[in-house]
Amino acid sequence: MDTLVLQKHLLKLIELHAPIKARNLAKILSDEFGKHVDRSAVNSALYSLKAERKVEVNSSYEWSLDGKTAAPKSASTRKPPEPEEEVTPVSPEITFTPEQQAVIDLDPADHLLIRGQAGSGKTTVLAARAGRILSAMNKGSLLFLTYNSALSAYVKKAFAKSGMKNTIDVQTFHEWARGCAKSLGFEFSGWVDGKARSEQLRELIETARAEVGDHRLYQLKEHPELLAWWGDEIAWLFGQYMIRLDDYLAVERTGRGTSVRVSQEDRRFIWCAFELYEEWLEETKQEDYDNPAGLVLRALREGGKILPDKLRYDHVMIDEVQDFDKSWLLAAVKIPRVSLSMAGDLAQKIYKRSFSWSSVGIQVQGGRSRRLSASHRTTKQIMDVAAHLLIDNEVTSNSDYTAPERPMKSGDKVKMIIGANPKDAYDKGYDWIAKQFKRLRSTTVAVVLPFSRQMYPAKMALEKRGLKVQSAKGAGLGGFDGGVVVTTFHQLKGLEFDHVVIMGLHDAQYPARLLERLPEEDHTEEISLMKRVLYVAMTRAKVSVTLIGSKPFCRLYDDVPVSMFEEV
């Protein structure tokens, strides 16, 4: 429906039914025209009318006619940082290979994708490229985006050591999205995590049942396992930037498994609950943690359509781009005035997110895609084991996949500590860690476990053995610079340590505990993902890796020749 026509109908309906919510207006229009009208389209039209002072919205998000609504608050301004003197390129003491230097020196124009295996120096090269761009221009603004706060803190520390602390804006994507949306006049009280989303979905699905009738996907009491599926589906909808039912009906649900078959008619019932959830978020002034980009894209959709120049940067760098979602990149591509540089490795893709470059308007063919072929961080012995985790992995068929090459550096074999049972394995592991790493200063040791709830007991057990230990996630982990730190598998993304100790590798815990909540049809995909998580954890190590678990040991290592391990 044409926007002007839609606005005309909305003004008439509001005059008749005010105060009324956007979703109810969408339902009336759908009934009137015999064709589905999306709440998002109605919302966009309403906010445009609000900007023209023709309608107003109350605290309950009900709309009424009004020609006296105050004009929207103007977006706060942000002056891009301009260095007062020439910037020194990042980490001048690092000697780059000719391959790395060629990427660093590439002209900063349009899009650039840097591909490379773990330890190939993608983050360092991206940071050095940022330094060179600012040094060459001696002016301009640069935004460095990361996936999580641990990597953000790590990159900030690297820039600070290089004297570039105040010249490059380093943020997580969530931080940038929240700040950008606020500058566009859209503020919210906080993020809704997966647990809170599931709790709310229980109620909203009952509301949907009352509105459109019963459906097999609404039967959560009879099939409680469906709740996890619903959470994943909502996250997928946000990640794929689904704002219209017609788009959802037409799209291929890539990456959503096969255990729950979803027909065209099923999608209509799913969409009803999805719109109810979006309405609840709006009314409670919250945002879903899996929808940071949607926050910005909605602000643009309901506002000026184009990101204001004062919120843009000359150059944008994105690290670990393989774990960004389609909607994230749709927002990120709007930021740079001059260039967008991205670094990633599909072998290190540890979240169920997917996109194609063409779908987000990014051109990285030909000379705009550069590969870093070597591994400079880890050893032959570590990579030999880690590479087995990628054999026949689902990502290997993608054209962007970079197969790992064997490093030049040699070291000890990957160690294994195997207990008779989980408690025995943990005790043996803690004893060994305390003995090996008791007198450390600048050496870094990461003791990693599958789940966050295991961090505190591990810290206490190691301290009981006389070891000084930190427990850290996020920014605290990214700023860690010496000693022993306890964290989780997923927190290691993009970081590096001298030694990595991976605990909790008894098969009943990892992977079995994660697989038990999934139907058997989806186990292959999940196992593929968990192998990549372990690949990332292992390839953080510069010197050694130790695996700790009980019998039966983690099945994900079953195909690795026993000759590659040294049992302690």
Q: Residue 288: CA atoms inside 13 Å, Cβ hemisphere, count? A: 26
Same domain, 438 and 489: yes
Q: Dig out the tokens for 240 from the structure.
A: 């794929």
**For residue range 405-415, what is the model confidence (pLDDT) as tens digits?**
899 999 999 99
Same domain, 406 and 431: yes
Same domain, 143 and 205: no
**For residue range 334-372, what is the model confidence (pLDDT) as tens digits?**
999 999 999 988 888 887 777 777 777 787 766 688 888
Same domain, 21 and 162: no
In a domain, 73, yes or no: no
pLDDT, the chain, mean: 87
54 is in an annotated binding site: no
DSSP state of 254: T
Share of residues in the chain with pLDDT > 90 (%): 53
Other Cβ atoms less than 10 A from the Cβ of 44: the count is: 22
Same domain, 130 and 194: no
Is there a contact between 556 and 530 (Cβ–Cβ < 8 Å)? yes
**How far, in Å, CA of 328 to CA of 240, rounded?**
9
Same domain, 559 and 494: yes
Is there a contact between 530 and 522 (Cβ–Cβ < 8 Å)? no
In a domain, 114, yes or no: yes
119 is in an annotated binding site: yes
Number of domains in the chain: 4
Determine phi and psi for 144, rounding to 5 degrees.
-110, 110
pTM of the model: 0.82
In a domain, 197, yes or no: yes
Torsion (CA) 216, 219, 220, 224 in degrees, nearest 10: -60
State the average pLDDT over residues 452-467.
95
State the DSSP H helix or E strand holding residue 341, giving kind and residue range, or none if neither. strand 336-344
Q: Dig out the tokens for 230 from the structure.
A: 């619903």
118 is in an annotated binding site: yes
Is there a contact between 32 and 16 (Cβ–Cβ < 8 Å)? no
**CATH at 112:** 3.40.50.300
Same domain, 478 and 357: no
284 is in an annotated binding site: no
Alpha helices (H) in 112-263, listed in sequence order: 122-137, 149-161, 173-183, 194-212, 226-239, 245-250
Same domain, 412 and 560: yes
In a domain, 78, yes or no: no
The neighbouring-strand residues paired with 417 are 548
121 is in an annotated binding site: yes
Same domain, 534 and 444: yes
215 lies in which domain range? 190-284
411 is in an annotated binding site: no
Asked whether the CA dihedral 256, 261, 265, 268 is positive or negative, the reply is negative
Task: Out of 332, 351, 372, pick the residue that ends a domain.
Answer: 372
In a domain, 296, yes or no: no
**For residue range 109-159, what is the model confidence (pLDDT) as tens digits?**
878 999 888 888 898 899 888 888 887 766 678 999 998 898 898 888 878
Distance from the first to the final alpha carbon of the chain: 69
Q: What is the DSSP string of 312-366?
A: -EEEEEESSGGG--HHHHHHHTTSEEEEEEEEE-GGG--SS----TGGGT----G
Same domain, 550 and 431: yes
563 is in an annotated binding site: no
In a domain, 153, yes or no: yes
Same domain, 468 and 502: yes
Same domain, 546 and 419: yes
**CATH at 9:** 1.10.10.10
In a domain, 392, yes or no: yes
Is there a contact between 154 and 478 (Cβ–Cβ < 8 Å)? yes
Q: Dig out the tokens for 47 from the structure.
A: 């906010």
pLDDT at 91: 43
264 is in an annotated binding site: no
- Of the two residues 87 and 41, the one the predictor is more confident about is 41
